[in-house]
């Protein structure tokens, strides 16, 4: 993720995070951004009703001691390439992507905003995302798909922001039974790790690995070295041998370089 300097960190959440006072995952994000000195930018591009999203997160962050929050509502490519967006990102200590419809985030891919985020992440910026804002962090973004089968038709993907180039990320994972969808995505792109995040669960990516935090489980699908035989039709099942599956509750660690999980030191869930 970094190529010199002090790399930033990413806190990627599977959606439905606790937003009560003392909210664990958002509290951790606020602390990483600088606590009372944090300057957090809310990217609401994916949101269905951005005004409500901004009001909700501003309320939560104020309770957590953060008074300086700003909205960056990018309605299209012109906004994402603008000086105003770049100026706002230049002074942020943290950037948080809301949930909603991830297809709306495609307009940011490859934009000036995308490049600024990647550069500032290398210099120490903290980036967070929940639900739709989580899946957008990978080089490839899951746009949709459902069903019980592992097949090309079970998942729709598109280019992502590339802030986590090693992984495909899915959200609301256990709650919505999305293992077939993630397996389908990884079968189509076996070089990527599949990361499935339960609700109110996140991964804190720092350097070349991550720690699981929150209330649920993170599922990692690793098809490197697996045998993949693609079916003739998109709706026909894919043959998949030798896939590695890891279930990581809070406190577990994962190393991207070696593709290995481990149990971290005992501490609080958040």
Question: Quick check: is 59 in a domain?
Answer: yes
- For β-strands 126-130 and 9-13, DSSP reports them as parallel
- Could you report the per-residue pLDDT of 69-125, keeping only the tens digit for each? 999 999 999 999 999 999 999 999 999 999 999 999 999 999 999 999 999 999 999
Question: Quick check: is 88 in a domain?
Answer: yes
Model confidence, pTM: 0.95
- Torsions phi, psi of 125, nearest 5? -60, 150
Question: Quick check: is 116 in a domain?
Answer: yes
Question: Quick check: is 4 in a domain?
Answer: no
- Could you report the per-residue pLDDT of 187-241, keeping only the tens digit for each? 999 999 999 999 999 999 998 999 999 999 999 999 999 999 999 999 999 999 9
Residue-averaged pLDDT of the chain: 94
Sign of CA dihedral 28, 183, 100, 117: positive
Question: Quick check: is 267 in a domain?
Answer: no
HSE-CB of 19 using CA atoms within 13 angstroms: 15
Tokens matching residue 215: 């209330």
Place of tokens 């990647």: 118
- Could you report the per-residue pLDDT of 148-191, keeping only the tens digit for each? 999 999 999 999 999 999 999 999 999 999 999 999 999 999 99
Q: How many domains in the chain?
A: 1
Question: Quick check: is 124 in a domain?
Answer: yes
Q: Which residues are catalytic?
A: 131, 172, 199
* CATH number of the domain to which 79 belongs: 3.40.50.880
Question: Quick check: is 21 in a domain?
Answer: yes
Tell me, what's the pLDDT at 112?
98
Residue numbers of the domain that contains 230: 9-259
Question: Quick check: is 268 in a domain?
Answer: no
Closest CA to 57 of 162, 163, 129: 129
């Amino acid at each position: 993720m970094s190529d010199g300097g002090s790399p930033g960190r990413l806190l990627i959440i599977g959606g439905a995070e606790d937003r009560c006072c003392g909210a664990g995952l958002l509290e951790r994000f606020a602390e990483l951004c600088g606590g009372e000195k944090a300057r957090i930018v809310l990217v609401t591009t994916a949101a269905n009703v951005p005004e409500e999203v901004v009001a909700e997160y501003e309320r939560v962050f104020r309770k957590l001691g953060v008074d300086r929050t700003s909205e960056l509502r990018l309605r299209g490519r012109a906004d994402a390439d603008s000086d105003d967006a770049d100026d706002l990102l230049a002074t942020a200590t943290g950037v948080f992507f809301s949930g909603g419809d991830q297809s709306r985030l495609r307009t940011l891919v490859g934009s000036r905003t995308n490049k600024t985020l990647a550069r500032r992440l290398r210099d120490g910026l903290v980036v967070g995302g929940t639900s739709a804002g989580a899946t957008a962090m990978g080089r490839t973004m899951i746009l949709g798909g459902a069903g019980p089968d592992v097949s090309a038709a079970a998942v729709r993907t598109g280019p992502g922001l590339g802030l986590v180039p090693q992984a495909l990320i899915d959200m609301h994972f256990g709650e919505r039974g999305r293992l077939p969808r993630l397996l389908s995505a990884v079968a189509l792109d076996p070089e990527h790790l599949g990361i499935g995040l339960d609700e109110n669960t996140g991964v804190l990516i720092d350097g070349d690995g991550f720690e699981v935090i929150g209330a649920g489980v993170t599922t990692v699908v690793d098809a490197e070295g697996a045998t993949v035989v693609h079916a003739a039709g998109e709706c026909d099942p894919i043959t998949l041998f030798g896939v590695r599956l890891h279930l990581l509750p809070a406190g577990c660690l994962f190393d991207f370089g070696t593709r290995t999980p481990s149990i971290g030191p005992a501490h609080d869930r958040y």
